[in-house]
Structure 1
Amino acid sequence: MADKSLNKTELVAAVAAASGQTQTAVNEVLDSLFATLADSVSNGVKVTIPGWIAVERTSRAARTGRNPQTGEAIQIAAGNSVKISAGSKLKAAVK
């Protein structure tokens, strides 16, 4: 796992410095971006930023699992999950 991380406050500060915008404006844009992303994905809409990232909702079927403490078989309900895929520009940036 990475030794370094960038939290939202640090991201907002970095984007504000790079773009010349205020941290308040950048924070509002990021909040709106994440709200729109969450709303779209929850409604089954795939969100793609070509070359950078794709986010979509996936479905998992019901299945039988096992309780690790008792070894007893349990039913795991069907549910939804989120799949995030890196685009070509993001993959190239980490090489």
Structure 2
Amino acid sequence: MPETTYILGAVLVMSAVTYALRAAPFVLLRNASQAPLLGYLSTALPPGIMVILVVYTVRGVDFGHFPYGVPALVATAVCAGLYQWRGSPLLAIVLGTGTYMALTHLMA
């Protein structure tokens, strides 16, 4: 059994490293808010990440058997439509997930 001082030291070191890793982006990027690369990434990454998530979600759907991917496709359309209409990612995710779960249970 390790000694109490060893465990306390390990916890303190882990806490310091965790704090430093969480604070590092704020410290390192405080003057980079006007950088052109960050401006580009802030506009280009969200749609790219959404495309990756949609492809990841739909890639495992079996379109050859009932329910033929209807729940996934309808839920994806609901998410996209709600996001375009209201501009709220949280609303789109919650209602899209609810739509998918409801259709999965209704069509099973």
State TM-score, norm by structure 1.
Answer: 0.32
Greater RCO (Cα-Cα under 8 Å, separation 6 or more)? 1
Q: Counting strand residues as a fraction of each chain, which structure ranks higher?
A: 1
Q: Considering only CA atoms, is the larger Rg found in Structure 1 or Structure 2?
A: 2
Q: Counting helix residues as a fraction of each chain, which structure ranks higher?
A: 2
